[in-house]
């Protein structure tokens, strides 16, 4: 069978890379703090500085990490399925090759290539 441009194996790797990149960005680089202003800034500076964590940004960060992890997991599943598909395709080629050899004693390279679909 000829290889197609879109394969499960390639899509799996793409989803793994995109998912891990997304999860790492949200986990390591996404800033969840906001500047405190007004009277609350005096209290906040005494306790922890002039920035506090925003619950909405924390939720965005969590959603980004979960989405990236899910994409990476889905990519892993596609990678396994693509490997199984390639393995089944290879086994089919071997069966066809052995069948041609068993049925035709004078098989030449052209007959083998025809049987394998090359």
Q: Is the pTM of this model over 0.85?
A: no
What single string gives the DSSP state of each residue in 48-93?
A: T-SEEE-HHHHHHHHHHHHHHHHHHHHHHHHHHHHHHHHHHHHHHH
Please give the chain's pLDDT, 118 residues, in tens.
Answer: 455 546 888 888 999 999 999 999 999 999 998 887 766 666 666 666 677 889 999 999 999 999 999 999 999 988 888 776 666 566 566 666 566 555 666 556 666 566 666 5
């Amino acid at each position: 069978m000829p290889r197609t441009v879109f394969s499960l194996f390639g899509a799996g790797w793409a989803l793994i890379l995109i998912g891990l990149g997304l999860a790492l960005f949200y986990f390591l680089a996404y800033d969840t703090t906001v500047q405190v202003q007004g009277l609350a800034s005096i209290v906040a500076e005494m306790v922890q500085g002039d920035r506090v964590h925003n619950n909405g940004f924390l939720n965005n960060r969590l959603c980004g990490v979960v989405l990236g992890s899910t994409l990476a997991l889905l990519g892993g599943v596609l990678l396994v399925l693509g490997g199984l598909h390639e393995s089944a395709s290879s086994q089919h080629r071997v069966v066809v090759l052995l069948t041609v050899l068993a049925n035709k004693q004078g098989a030449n390279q052209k007959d083998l290539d025809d049987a394998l679909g090359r």
